[in-house]
Structures are given as structure tokens and as C-alpha cells.
Amino acid sequence: MRNLIHPILTAYLIVFGMSLLAADPTEAPKPTGMRAPRNGNVYVVAHRGAHDGVPENTLAAYRRAIDLGCDFVEIDVRTTLDGVLVSIHNSTIDAYTTDGRKGVVAEMNFADLRKIDIGSRVDTKWSQERIPSVSEILQLCKGRIGVYLDVKDASIESLATLVKQNDCELDTLWYISGSRIDELKRCSSKSWPMPDPGPEKNLSTLLKVHRPPVVASVWRHCSRLFVETCHLSNVIVIVDDQGPETWKSLLEWKVNGIQTDHPAELIAQLRQLQSR
């Protein structure tokens, strides 16, 4: 009997070992409950909205991203003097005006920010565009597109309250540091924390200590090994590109999402790849 078991066991181990070698370590399952990508297997994140010819971080840019079929819009979140959460990248309004008006977002009331034309610097046809509140953006996006929150200057608790009020928890990625994940989980258990380890040398510690479902990265820090390491831990990766010339490598590395200033072109390329 021992002589019979030995070759059977040996054969089983050989087959099992071959199956492990054949498994693709670069694939990772989408976290349960997260929206599926619309264009192949890669999430398209519109950086500051789809702002080619449209003022960035405005409702117009977010509407454009929805119309294009993007998966997420990125929102830079700051807080006004009177506690309103708004979407604006810079800490000041200086770069967004055409009349020389200046000011620090955190030192201005929301009503005063709303008076500022931030669209004419792109084209006078956008002169009615204003700095939007996060509440307005969530109402626009709910059920239509996911939201990628870049939390620059905001209370996680206040922001999580808005996300929950608009029933957007399962559609929201949170770009926050690993040290803030526990705080987020207490406020919004269904949202997706997405920390960025920075250089690849920090990745293993981030995965071990914080165990996030999603990891963010940027082109200069990303690599095939970075992506494979995340996927082996069942963590998906969303990367900031450095222009369309970086897409080929990112797709070969099997990243799960790309944040880009060129969402229309990326969607066209992904759809072309799907049709082959």
C-alpha cells in the first residue's frame, strides 16, 4: 500500500506545484462590493474631472467625466473658514482668477468663494463656473460615477458624514495616509481607504500594518514588482500616470486603475484593446 501511495502523492504534488507556477500573480480580484470597471479591467480616474478645455475641479468637469464613461472623478477636498467642504486643488484662489483676486481658501467663507469666477481663465464661456461644494459633487455623482477623494485639508468625520448622507460609501475611494485608516473605518466602514506608500521600499510595511483594499501610487514609484506585490496580497493598485506615454507599461504591469488628465484618450485606447 505504501508503494502505491507514494507515486500517487508524488504525482499530486507535481500537479499542484505546476498549478502554482501557472497561476498569474499579477491578477488581483476586485474588492467585494466595489463597482466594476466600465472599460475592460482598468478603472479610469479623471484627475480633477475631465478638464480638457473645461475648468478643473468644477461641476462642468465632473459632468464631462460622467458623459465620457469614466469610473471615478478625483476631488481635492479643502475646508472653508465657515466649515464648508469644497473642491479646489490649491490652498489659495490666486491661480484660478482673471481679475487679480487673491485669497486663502481656509480664510474665506463659502459665500465669498462662490462669488469668484474660476472658469474664465479657461474660456469666457465658463464664466458661471464656481468652486463647488463636496455636497453638490456627491449629489451629481451618486449612482453615476465613483468618487476619488484626495483629502487635502478636511475632517474625515465631516467628509464621511456627507458621503454617507449621499449613499456613496461603496463608490468612494479615500486617498489618505495609512495612519488615518482607522479613523476612516470608525466613520465610514464601507468606504475604500487608498493609502500611498510612496517609494516601493515602504510598500511591504503598509500592506502588513494597514492591510488596505486599494493602494495608490504614482508613475515614478510604480513598477511591475510593486503591482505584483500588491496583487499577491489581494490588493488592487491605482496609479497616477505621467502622460499617455506611460500607459503601455502600466497596462503591461496590470495596474487596476489609472488616474489621468486625458481620460477620453485612455478610454478610447482601452476600448480598442477590448475589441481585439
Three-class DSSP category at 199 = coil
How does pLDDT run along the chain (276 residues), one tens digit per residue? Answer: 344 445 443 444 433 343 333 345 456 778 989 999 999 999 999 999 999 999 999 999 999 999 999 999 999 999 999 999 999 999 999 999 999 999 999 999 999 999 999 999 999 999 999 999 999 999 999 999 999 999 999 999 999 999 999 999 999 999 999 999 999 999 999 999 999 999 999 999 999 999 999 999 999 999 999 999 999 999 999 999 999 999 999 999 999 999 999 999 999 999 999 887
CA distance 76 to 86: 8
Is 166 within the bounds of a domain? yes
Cα dist from 25 to 52, 179, 231, 257, whole Å: 36, 28, 7, 17
Query: CA quadruple 151, 113, 47, 145: dihedral positive or negative?
Result: positive
The three-point CA angle 77-140-94 to 5° equals 40
pLDDT, tens digit (0-9, with 9 covering 90-100), for 35-88: 999 999 999 999 999 999 999 999 999 999 999 999 999 999 999 999 999 999
CA distance 242 to 239: 9
Query: Do 258 and 267 form a contact (C-beta atoms < 8 A)?
Result: no
Is 33 within the bounds of a domain? no
Is 110 within the bounds of a domain? no
Half-sphere exposure of 165 (CA within 13 A, CB side): 12
Of 113, 127, 58, 104, residue with least CA distance to 84: 113
Is 167 within the bounds of a domain? yes
Is 2 within the bounds of a domain? no
Residue ranges making up the domain that contains 184: 41-76+145-275
Is 84 within the bounds of a domain? no
Is 248 within the bounds of a domain? yes
Is 16 within the bounds of a domain? no
* pTM (two decimals): 0.89
pLDDT, tens digit (0-9, with 9 covering 90-100), for 137-147: 999 999 999 99
Query: Do 106 and 81 form a contact (C-beta atoms < 8 A)?
Result: yes
CATH code of the domain in which 227 resides: 3.20.20.190
**Whole-number pLDDT of residue 1:** 37
How many folded domains does the chain comprise? 1
**Whole-number pLDDT of residue 9:** 39
